[in-house]
């Protein structure tokens, strides 16, 4: 038996089962037409079997039709309930968005431990992206970020190939997962470290890269497109994704612009990194 045949038999069975409560009054109607009682109908079946068969098929058809109608009505009611629930969930979902990337105006000294109590000092700045949940929206739970550094050239070890789990700036240190209340206030996602030394300037900025004193985390290009994806848990799985392009103009400025916001204007800060 094919799957289609099994589905048809299953539907027939469900329809007859759902229409069974109406069987007795249908039998009563047919019995009344036949002579006023079930016994009279049985006598009719003996004397005129063809007519009795027609009556039986009429009863079965009515039972099936009533059952199919009940099934269809239940399906429509379930669909309406599901649509109402989905609408309720979507209207109460977090609304996460990116703001304009923050490029610090001045560089900071960062100290990296290199062993034997010694540290390596690097001058640079961490570019961060503000991420907010709309005012009045429910809290976004377990918010985390993925960063993917997109190469201009598909070959060559110019940047890490795998996605990087982003870090959120916080008063107690970086975090990889946060909750984002619906108050419109931003939390800052660390995106990239720009060093004030000659090329290469850009580096992945995570706990792993800092522990390695940035070695092996260089981004060997001046124009650095970064795919940023922020996700949260929940029935609607809130998600926002965009590409931020950070460019180091040697001896001039740093820019950090979103790919889909051409009308926002260039986001830049003065910089003289190539001269240090």
By the 8 A CB rule, do 188 and 175 touch?
no
Confidence of residue 89 (pLDDT cuts 50, 70, 90): very low
72-81, 108-117, 157-166, 237-246 — most confident range = 237-246
Whole-prediction pTM: 0.66
Distance separating alpha carbons of residues 119 and 183, to the nearest angstrom: 40
Boundary (domain end) residue, out of 59, 91, 123: 91
Boundary (domain end) residue, out of 91, 106, 126: 91
Question: Per residue in 220-245, pLDDT tens?
Answer: 887 899 999 999 998 788 899 999 99
Boundary (domain end) residue, out of 61, 91, 121: 91
4-13, 49-58, 78-87, 230-239 — most confident range = 230-239
By the 8 A CB rule, do 152 and 221 touch?
yes
Q: Which residue has the tokens 């009940």?
A: 70
Would you state the pLDDT for residue 198?
Answer: 77
Distance separating alpha carbons of residues 272 and 105, to the nearest angstrom: 12
Mean pLDDT value across residues 256-269: 83
Domain that holds residue 170: 96-275
Question: Per residue in 105-156, pLDDT tens?
Answer: 999 999 988 888 888 898 999 999 999 999 989 999 999 999 998 865 555 5
Residue 260: partners with Cβ closer than 8 Å, 6 or more residues away: 242, 243
Would you state the pLDDT for residue 93?
Answer: 86
Pair 61, 104 in one domain: no
Confidence of residue 51 (pLDDT cuts 50, 70, 90): low
Pair 227, 255 in one domain: yes
Tokens describing residue 231 = 């996700």
Residue 224: partners with Cβ closer than 8 Å, 6 or more residues away: 149, 159, 192, 202, 245, 246, 247, 248
Would you state the pLDDT for residue 229?
Answer: 96
């Amino acid at each position: 038996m094919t799957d289609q045949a099994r589905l048809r038999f299953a539907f027939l069975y469900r329809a007859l089962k759902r229409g069974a409560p109406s069987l007795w009054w249908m039998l009563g109607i047919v019995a009344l037409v036949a002579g006023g009682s079930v016994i009279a109908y049985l006598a009719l079946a003996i004397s005129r079997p063809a007519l009795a068969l027609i009556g039986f098929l009429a009863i079965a058809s009515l039972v099936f039709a009533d059952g199919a109608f009940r099934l269809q009505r239940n399906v429509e009611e379930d669909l309406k309930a599901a649509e109402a629930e989905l609408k309720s969930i979507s209207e109460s979902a977090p609304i996460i968005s990116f703001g304009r990337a923050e490029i610090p105006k001045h560089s900071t000294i960062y100290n990296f431990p290199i062993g034997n109590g010694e540290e390596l000092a690097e001058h640079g700045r961490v570019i961060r992206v503000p991420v907010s949940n709309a005012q009045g929206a429910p809290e976004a739970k377990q918010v985390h970020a993925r960063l993917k550094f997109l190469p201009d050239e598909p070959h060559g070890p110019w940047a890490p190939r795998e996605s990087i789990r982003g870090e959120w700036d916080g008063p107690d240190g970086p975090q990889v997962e946060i909750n984002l209340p619906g108050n419109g206030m931003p939390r800052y996602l660390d995106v990239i470290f720009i060093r004030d030394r000659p090329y290469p300037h850009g580096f992945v900025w995570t706990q792993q890269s800092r522990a390695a004193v940035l070695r092996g985390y260089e981004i060997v290009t001046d124009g650095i497109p970064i795919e940023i994806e922020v996700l949260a848990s929940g029935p609607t799985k809130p998600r926002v994704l965009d590409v931020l392009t950070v460019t180091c103009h040697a001896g001039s400025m740093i820019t950090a612009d979103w790919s889909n916001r051409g009308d926002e204007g260039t986001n830049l800060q003065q910089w003289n990194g190539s001269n240090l």
